[in-house]
Structure 1
Amino acid sequence: MTSRRDFLKEAATGAVILGTHSSLGLTHALDPHTEQEKSRVIIARDAALHSSDGKLDEKRVGDLLDRAIATYTGRKRPVDAWKHIVLEGGAKEKVIGLKTNGLGGKGISTHAVLAYAIAERLQQAGVKPGNILIWDRNARDLEACGLTINTDPSRVRCFGSDSVGFEDAVEKWGSSHARFSRILTRECAMVINLPILKDHSMSGVTFAMKNMYGVVERPQELHAGGCNPGVADLNAFPVIQQKIKLTIGDAMTSVYEGGPGFRPEHLWQPNALIVGEDRVAIDQIAWGILEKKRAEVGLKTLEAVGRPPRYIATAADSTHALGVNDPRHIKVIEV
């Protein structure tokens, strides 16, 4: 059995295989001698993503996004990759949502440049501007990302759940009770998940799965037990499984301690995008990335400080079956 130490080493060097069914049909068999369909987690990096003054280079972000998506889909031209994503996601003439995360405040939120770059590429793939909706819990969180609120249906829209409200009905799954944003339930046919990688004072890691806390009315009710089983239960709701098709994780800037808020003393720049469909596998890899950084600066592991992200294993168990966390079934490709 692979030890956690071995896993962290493998996660850092890109030596694991992810086996899971691809809802978008984007992934394909990596080994023709195996029967199991393989999907992948792509980590695209650019060490020069930030300028000397700490600002992101917009062109380099776009190039990094293109490289990540082309690698993930196997399409040489990024525009062909996006056309495939839109077509397989069943959203060619429908609304595509981009779910950001601005809860941490300015400086540690999903970067606007990434959201706008994705919106631009969706338009190049034939999606009408008004059918692209950048959204989060509320206007404050969107503005923390550097985004501008806009409801003009002729342009890329941007507004929060606070402006349209939540469903009246309370949905139940496992220990979770939730009222979902009407943006998720009524507006979007497909959602691309844009979390930002952070340490979390309760759950240990917040990234792909925990970003779903921003689609319900009262996420504070899901934090007991280090967000376990809250995160796993929430991600098991059918509406999330059906509509959250792809994750393009923002790991361009991160906090490795003291999160989820902005902690300049613990800020670091992984300069990466993490792309995949299996949010469980993505979070497992993200955990390894955070642990590697913590070790580099002399911090104890999340396990040692009493806040390992146990919800990841819960999400992978037979009850939830949301993805895989076993390093033997994850393939990380670094580009």
Structure 2
Amino acid sequence: MSQSKVNRRSFFKLATAVGAGAIVNQPQSILAAPPQEQQPAKPVTNIADALKHPRNERSLPGKYPGKVVKVMNKASVVDNQPQEDIANEMIKKAMLQLTNEENIKKAWQQFVSDDEIIGLKVNPVAGKLLSTSHAVVQSIVKQLESAGIPRKNIVIWDRRLMQLHETGFTEENYPGITITGTEQQDAEGGFYDKDGKLYGEKMIDKEWFYYADVEGEYDEYTMPYMVNGGKHSYFTKICTQQVDKIINVPILKNAGPTVTLCLKNLAYGSISNTGRLHKQLWSDTCAEVCAFPPIRDKVVLNIVDGLKGCFNGGPAANPQFICNYYTIMAGTDPVAIDRIGHDIIVKKRIAEGIQEKDDPKRLKFMEMAEELQLGVADINKITLEEV
């Protein structure tokens, strides 16, 4: 195959594509929300393979199952800009409350140590309008450093390196920190090397995969954002080989009348060939991918950037639906956080007249995750501590 170049104009043309097959062929950042109805014949997956691997003491839901800390401060966004000094204090309060520590260094050391490589899983897929904010990420980096983690041991990552760069996750802004992604381009904007292979191919681990009996078929413009077609979605080597632990840093966003928060950020950000999974297996993918050891046994903390978020049109960024939640949430349990985030989103959607009431079917992926022992989905069993 000749080297294919997809420039920014081509990417956004692809991102706004509509018509038959669009859900399958669009990149992650603009894929549709969960389907309205569950398909009657669900495709088979290899979730049983994930469950064969024994859990360990740090497997999800981690040290504090069912506990969510929420910090709000209306000074955290000024003139539409998240404020790093306020965000830093909010994260400190959340960490101290979560861990019951009085010292912030000790709070962080419950989760990380200086001999480990720590991956920060951010979310840049909606572009500059609504990426994980630098106010939050810079604050996390500073607090990790204060806990003894050298910058060379910190990795900021997501599926698409080009989206990280476009949203300011660069060497210039984060000196000494590794910035990486699964899907990559060369200096000329090409996705293929001189041998006609996608650069992303070297970033996927064929030893670890999520199988689903749904075929991924993509055109030449979409393939670089999927890496491979077929029925296997391979885990990124960032998860399987490069980092020892993962701190998940999603945004408080909607996916239709529910959230694209902790579970979605991890699941769809960690594997290839995701386009095929949205129509029939959105809920299954969000839950089941997180049950595999590269996620389940490495994610030690979730810090939600809810300073700015959205309540409609997500996971893409539609300016009319972006709002300030002025919120940071923290916990080790991604399911419990998603459940609390769901209520925040739905409350906002009802207030804006977008929907009249909550739809219990939208909790399906959280309930599936609970069945897989990844966390607590039952709102009556979640402890929400507001600071």
TM-score interval w.r.t. the shorter chain? Answer: 0.7 to 0.9
1:1-335 pair list within 5 angstroms: 26-27=63-64, 39-51=66-78, 53-87=79-113, 92-149=114-171, 155-163=176-184, 165-169=203-207, 171-172=209-210, 177-201=232-256, 204-212=258-266, 213-225=268-280, 227-301=282-356, 308-317=362-371, 320-335=372-387
Matched residue SS, 2:341: helix
Q: Deviation string for 1:283-308 (max 9, x for gaps)?
A: 1111100011112112215756x972
Q: Distance in 2 between matches of 1:215 and 1:299?
A: 31
Q: Deviation string for 1:234-275 (max 9, x for gaps)?
A: 111122101111100111111101111111111111111111
Identity %: 29
**C-alpha displacement at 1:50, in angstroms?**
1.0
**Amino acid in structure 1 at the alignment position of 2:236:** S
**Amino acid in structure 2 at the alignment position of 1:102:** P
**C-alpha displacement at 1:39, in angstroms?**
4.7
User: Counting strand residues as a fraction of each chain, which structure ranks higher?
Assistant: 2
Q: Distance in 2 between matches of 1:229 and 1:39?
A: 21
Q: Which runs of 5+ in 1 are unaligned?
A: 1-20, 28-37
**C-alpha displacement at 1:72, in angstroms?**
0.7
Q: Which moved more, 1:220-229 or 1:180-189?
A: 220-229
How many aligned positions are there? Answer: 295
Q: Distance in 2 between matches of 1:43 and 1:181?
A: 31
What's 1:9 paired with?
Answer: none
Query: Contact 1:150/1:157 (CA < 8 Å) preserved in 2?
Result: no
Q: Deviation string for 1:164-209 (max 9, x for gaps)?
A: 61113352467784211111111100000001111114x8310000
Q: Distance in 1 between matches of 2:288 and 2:356?
A: 25
Query: Contact 1:173/1:234 (CA < 8 Å) preserved in 2?
Result: no
Q: Distance in 1 between matches of 2:292 and 2:357?
A: 28
Matched residue SS, 1:270: strand
**C-alpha displacement at 1:25, in angstroms?**
6.9
Q: Distance in 1 between matches of 2:212 and 2:355?
A: 33
**C-alpha displacement at 1:141, in angstroms?**
2.3
Output the TM-score relative to the length of structure 2. 0.70
Q: Distance in 1 between matches of 2:120 and 2:83?
A: 21
Q: Distance in 2 between matches of 1:184 and 1:22?
A: 16
Matched residue SS, 1:249: strand
Matched residue SS, 1:290: helix
Q: Deviation string for 1:116-161 (max 9, x for gaps)?
A: 2111111111111100111111222213443214799x81221222
Matched residue SS, 1:310: helix
**C-alpha displacement at 1:226, in angstroms?**
6.4
